[in-house]
Chain A
């Protein structure tokens, strides 16, 4: 039986960036869906049982860390990556406290694929 591709939900309020990240991940063999807000992401994440959540930290209405926490209330095992151009200690600590890997923006694509392949 063919192995099901790893599924990734990409969340960024910059749609171009969300699409680009998704497209790159697709090239690397992932199955992707994008969302441009936490409100859009939350139901999508819970409906499709993604393996991975890749989200920006600064989202309107909710931080990426908060989104990870909410998703994890239902999907305890989902792996998560939080990205941000803000690399201050508070942002990094919030991402890690939610159980996500933090990646600074601009995202180093090889760092991202390493994290996702792990």
Chain B
């Protein structure tokens, strides 16, 4: 037997049939004149609620757009057809809610608000035909249950993706840790042999031609040790050690760590007095990774901006953007996945680690949808020190 799709299965469960679709089409001309007041009421409730309002960051213009979208949403809900294409479209809307991190509980309340208002319309507008009231009300309840099920499914998918990423990162972390440990012993031999060589050579070790190479071995071993140390640190998923940190200085030192070339100009408009309560080593790593990515996308030549703006609830947003080619649409959803890379020599760890560090700080990292170049937004919660 052919396996039912998620949508077919849930339709079967709530008893949604072609008759339900027909009843909804019957409801459409009756309910349609009330869409506008329902939508106004819907967004008035969101604006009045601090928690729900937070998900809307684009002001009145965004609300106006969202209102039109919601009217279209109701049109399609009643007109159908309620097929797989409908499901795909609705799932896409659900994923948009996931992306703006709308808490699930608001989805229930929002759906219920629409349900109450439309049932009210049915009761008030369909007079003297109790059978019709029953028919369209049942179908309305069914489709709204379906809508909710689709929304929740997108949240579940999102959670699964996150879990899968965490698992991948954990596996990679274990690999990295065992390789790191294995490299420490040979480096220990090199380091101690270098020490002994210096002792045996005595004065000769200070001859410039000899000293240059001994020093070089020493500093490269140190660098390798440092890299392993950092790698193990990240694999261990060390909790952030927060302290008041000047963001401006951190941006500068991240620029140095990323070895930005002269042809790439870093424009930092971070205020000198802005201090965040963060782990400086970890956030430097986040910034340096973003800088390195930008440098590679720009092929070493172009503009890089670091901008700061206030975030929600006293938090801080830090935007890192460049004037490079940007990130193709089809890659946008995957760039934070561990082992996903588009670079010939990329490890696919950089952005995954950035995200883990930001999440450990209770913050987020997201790729902004804006034209021209890539733009990453780091959000720190109530982080000002």
Contact = CB atoms under 8 A, between A and B. Distances in A.
B187 A106 contact: yes
B188 A17 contact: yes
Interface in B222-245: 225, 236
B192 A105 contact: no
B195 A109 contact: yes
Contacts of A86: 181
Interface string B67-82: 0000000000000000
Contact of A27 (B184, B188, B199): B199
Nearest to B187: A106
Interface string A2-35: 0000000000001011001101100100000000
Contacts of B181: 85-86
Contacts of A17: 185, 188-189, 192
Contact of A106 (B184, B196, B236): B184
A62 interface: no
B196 A23 contact: yes
A65 to B, nearest CB: 17
A107 interface: yes
Interface string B173-193: 000000011001101110111
Contacts of A24: 192, 195-196
Interface residues of A, number: 15
Contacts, number: 39
Interface string B189-207: 1011101100100000000
Nearest to B221: A106
A112 to B, nearest CB: 10
Interface residues of B, number: 15
Nearest to A14: B185
B184 A105 contact: yes
A107 B188 contact: yes
Contact of B188 (A23, A88, A105): A105
Contacts of A27: 196, 199
A107 B190 CA distance: 12
B195 A106 contact: no
Contacts of B187: 106
B223 to A, nearest CB: 13
Given A17-B185, A86-B181, A106 B199 contact: no
A107 B181 CA distance: 13
A45 B210 CA distance: 40
Contacts of A85: 180-181, 184-185
A109 B191 CA distance: 10
Nearest to B183: A85
B185 A105 contact: yes
A40 B230 CA distance: 35
Nearest to B180: A85
Interface in A82-118: 85-86, 88, 105-107, 109
Contacts of A109: 192, 195
Contacts of A16: 189, 193
A55 to B, nearest CB: 14
Interface in A69-88: 85-86, 88
A106 B193 contact: no
Contacts of B189: 14, 16-17, 20
Nearest to B236: A88
Contact of B225 (A21, A23, A106): A106
Nearest to A16: B189
19 contacts: A14-B185, A14-B189, A16-B189, A17-B192, A20-B188, A20-B192, A20-B196, A24-B192, A24-B195, A27-B196, A27-B199, A85-B180, A85-B181, A85-B184, A105-B185, A105-B188, A106-B187, A106-B191, A106-B225
Given A20-B192, A106-B188, 10 more contacts: A14-B185, A17-B185, A17-B188, A17-B192, A20-B189, A20-B196, A21-B192, A24-B195, A24-B196, A107-B188
